[in-house]
Amino acid sequence: MTLTKSDTVHRPPSIVYGPRIVALAGGVGGAKLAHGLAQLLPPEDLTIVVNTGDDFEHYGLTICPDLDTVCYTLAGLANPVTGWGRVDESWQVFENARCLGGPDWFSLGDRDLGTHLERTRRLKDGQPLSQVTRDFCKAWGVEHTVLPMTDQPVRTMVGVETGELAFQEYFVHQRCEPKVTGFRFDGVESARPAPGVVEAIETAEAVVICPSNPWVSIDPILAVAGIRSRLEGKPVLAVSPIIGGKTVKGPAAKMYSELGIHPSAFSVARHYRGLLTGFVLDGVDAAQERAIQNLNLRTLVADTLMNHLTDRVRLAGDVLNFIRRPL
């Protein structure tokens, strides 16, 4: 891939030659930081490895919510209001299926359905998800490399007091209401890193764990055999998805509480113990910085809220400078 002229113009020249980075990402928060990083790093210097534990089958279609959120965000096609799905979306299919008695708990927009239909067609045709994702990125003009964590199906199961729920059943259908007791990544034992994942990590100068849900967005990626072990000895930093004890979006803080852990930036840092070399926390949590440093981590206090594109680029720049900062 080559830089286009417009990319070069918009990228601050001071960090055009950035560190080679692998970002681990789940959905919205991860996609935002990945988007910021993509504004600052040339395509060959950023690989985004995305959680597929959220993937599920609905109406016979294979739906990959995190992959789609990351790709749509990088392509400028994401819906900025909902945080999921596509901008300028229509709902004809979904409304007509609902009129016929179809399940309506997971919203499927028309443009979005084009993605699910063609992906499902290709998967049934035998194409691996990583290849499908590469082709879709090319069609959408996404130049940075986006990889699913694995080409094998892994399905996050949420332990609740009554048993286990498939992730989207818990997350969307039951609106994260059941109290969680644990998590299991069904199929992960036979999952291998998707082609390119190991190579990207091995050649990366640093790995950035995006501000995604540690339990259900990042842990599934780390659970794929060969990924976590290849992070050892490498600079790995995480950006806290918990700000002031809460999450911007999603149930991470609620999950920590229900598992008996105080939701905080410190808890996130401790969650990744043994893995991280650095941690980025929000200014509102600055009082926790010393405790996090005591986990033997370098720290950066930054403004981690990403409401606008400028916030994404600013945080990405802070993270890249933090990586390059002399120890």
Task: Between 24 and 123, name the residue whose CB sits nearer to a second copy.
Answer: 123
Least gap, CB of 127 to a second copy (angstroms): 11
Contact 244, 285 (CB under 8 A): yes
Least gap, CB of 140 to a second copy (angstroms): 8
Least gap, CB of 257 to a second copy (angstroms): 36
Least gap, CB of 92 to a second copy (angstroms): 4
Least gap, CB of 35 to a second copy (angstroms): 21
Distance CA 47, CA 227 (A): 14
Q: Which two tokens stand for residue 169?
A: 């059943």
Contact 211, 281 (CB under 8 A): no
* Kind plus residue range of the DSSP H or E element containing 231: helix 227-231
Task: Between 113 and 313, name the residue whose CB sits nearer to a second copy.
Answer: 113
Task: Between 90 and 293, name the residue whose CB sits nearer to a second copy.
Answer: 90
Least gap, CB of 104 to a second copy (angstroms): 11
Assign 149 to helix, strand or coil: coil
DSSP label at residue 172 = I
Q: Token pair 């300028």 is at which residue?
A: 88
Task: Between 93 and 198, name the residue whose CB sits nearer to a second copy.
Answer: 93
Alpha carbon distances (Å) from 82 to 28, 103, 107, 167, 259: 10, 20, 11, 19, 28
Task: Between 12 and 114, name the residue whose CB sits nearer to a second copy.
Answer: 114
Length of the chain: 327
Assign 285 to helix, strand or coil: helix
Contact residues: a second copy, CB under 8 A:
59-61, 90, 92-103, 110-111, 113-115, 117-121, 124, 135-136, 139
- Quote the longest CA-to-CA distance of the chain: 62
Task: Between 94 and 171, name the residue whose CB sits nearer to a second copy.
Answer: 94
Residue type at position 43: P
